[in-house]
Structure formats: structure tokens, C-alpha cells
């Protein structure tokens, strides 16, 4: 039985990595899916993989006007939203001594401000009883060199899930956080200078986990599906940790 049959889902940052895998899983479960992304070319490639039934909308989550336009477009095409996956994010890391204001603004504007207003601007378009999933990271509760700003934005996301849940109780809207560890996505290519460096960094990150491997986007997508479905109806304001034991072992 399809768990999301005829449900409307929006996935920010849905054109690659975890977002793309989640879109594939949601479509397989019968959902009407809209994905967003900043890069139109990447969105077009995602549509080639997902099929013509997906709604791909170009937009930047750090721009409030883009968010309003995205949700208005979804409503006009599909109707009110049952599931919102706040996945759009950037991985900006660097030593504290060398971290620039530009780097700080980039990671904060997308990961923190973008997540906050992705939820706020969605409120008029969400069904009562909807599920909101905020994608955080295991580093929201772990100190790792070069990750200070990034980790802080992901800790903010974890905190927002609690506050949003308390505030939206009267609408029976559930907000939960999913905290992945290192996942095998194109993110490594975005912060290295070559394919060889990306592979080396991915291998090192995999070895850094107790299970000695990277997670697969499909594994995260399965967890997002659980949080979006009625199977997690008793779960709100919580964090689901999938990090290969990185935080606790």
C-alpha cells in the first residue's frame, strides 16, 4: 500500500542528494511532489530522473519572495500541502581563524534563515495535520573542527523543531528533525577542487563513522518517509538520528 497516496509534498533542495532520493521515494509512495532548487539546470536534470509528474520550481530559500511564489505555485498545481521537507542547505566549513563574513552569511542565510522562513511562509498553504521534516545534521550535537558555523545552523534547526511543534499544536501540525551523518551525495564535489579530492574526502568521512562507510541517500529518504507518514503520528518535536553511530559511539 502506498503510504502517501494522493498526498502533496514539497521538498526544498530536492534536485540532488538527499532531496532527490526523497522525491523518488515519495513519488513511489503515491505522492504529488514538488521540488525546489536554486539552479535551473540541476532541476532539469532531476526532472529527467523523476519524470514529468514532478513539479520543479526554481527558487532560493533565503529569499522570502521566492518562498511565497513557490508555495503559491504548488497550491495552484496540487492544492494544500500534506508534507514539507525542509532540506535545502549548504555545507560551508573552514577554520575559525579564517572563516569570513561572506562564508558565515552564506551558511546562515540558507541553513538557518532559509529553514525558518521555509516553514513560516508555508503556513497558509499547509493542511491541518501536516507533517514538517527539518533536515539537520548529527553535528548539531557534536564538536568537530572547522564546523562551528555549519554546526550552529544545524543546532538552530533542531531547536526550531521543538518551538514550531509547540506553536502549531492547535493545527495538529507535527514538526520533527532528521539528523543524518555523512551521506554519499555531491556535496563533497562542491567543497573540493577535483574529483580525486572529493573521493578522498568522502572516503575519509566514511572511515570517520563507527560503521566505516557513508550513508546512502535512500537510507535517509526511508526515514523521511516515516516522518511524513501516519506511522510517526505520535512523534513531534523530536530528532531522528541516522549517523552510523558517529555522535554516540
Residues with catalytic function: 150
d(CA 187, CA 64) in angstroms, rounded, equals 25
Helices 148-167 and 101-108: angle between axes, nearest 10 degrees: 30
Please give the helix or strand (H or E) that residue 118 lies within, else none. Answer: helix 114-120
Nearest to 179 by CA among 147, 125, 142, 232: 142
d(CA 178, CA 156) in angstroms, rounded, equals 13
Contact criterion met (CB below 8 Å) for 209 and 246:
yes
Nearest to 68 by CA among 134, 23, 125, 10: 125
- Distance between terminal CA atoms of the chain? 36
DSSP structural state of residue 111: I
Would you tell me how many other CB atoms lie within 10 Å of the CB of residue 172?
A: 12
Amino acid at each position: 500500500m502506498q503510504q502517501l497516496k494522493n498526498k502533496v509534498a514539497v521538498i526544498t533542495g530536492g534536485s540532488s542528494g538527499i532531496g532527490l532520493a526523497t522525491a523518488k521515494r515519495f513519488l513511489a509512495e503515491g505522492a504529488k511532489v514538488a521540488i525546489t532548487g536554486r539552479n535551473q539546470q540541476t532541476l532539469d536534470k532531476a526532472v529527467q530522473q523523476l519524470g514529468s509528474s514532478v513539479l520543479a520550481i526554481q527558487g532560493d530559500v533565503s529569499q522570502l519572495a521566492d518562498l511565497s511564489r513557490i508555495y503559491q505555485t504548488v497550491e495552484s498545481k496540487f492544492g494544500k500541502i500534506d508534507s514539507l521537507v525542509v532540506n535545502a542547505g549548504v555545507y560551508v566549513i573552514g577554520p575559525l581563524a579564517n572563516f569570513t563574513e561572506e562564508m558565515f552569511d552564506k551558511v546562515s542565510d540558507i541553513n538557518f534563515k532559509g529553514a525558518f522562513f521555509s516553514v513560516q511562509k508555508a503556513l497558509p498553504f499547509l493542511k491541518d495535520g501536516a507533517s514538517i521534516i527539518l533536515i539537520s545534521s548529527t553535528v548539531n550535537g557534536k564538536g568537530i573542527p572547522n564546523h562551528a558555523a555549519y554546526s550552529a545552523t544545524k543546532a538552530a534547526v533542531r531547536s526550531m523543531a521543538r518551538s514550531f511543534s509547540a506553536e502549531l499544536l492547535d493545527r495538529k501540525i507535527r514538526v520533527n528533525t532528521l539528523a543524518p551523518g555523512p551521506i554519499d551525495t555531491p556535496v563533497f564535489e562542491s567543497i573540493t577542487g577535483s574529483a580525486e579530492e572529493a573521493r578522498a574526502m568522502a572516503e575519509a568521512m566514511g572511515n570517520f563513522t563507527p560503521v566505516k562507510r557513508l550513508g546512502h541517500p535512500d537510507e535517509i529518504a526511508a526515514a523521511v518517509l516515516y516522518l511524513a507518514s501516519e506511522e510517526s503520528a505520535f512523534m513531534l518535536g523530536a530528532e531522528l538520528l541516522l549517523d552510523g553511530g558517529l555522535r554516540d559511539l
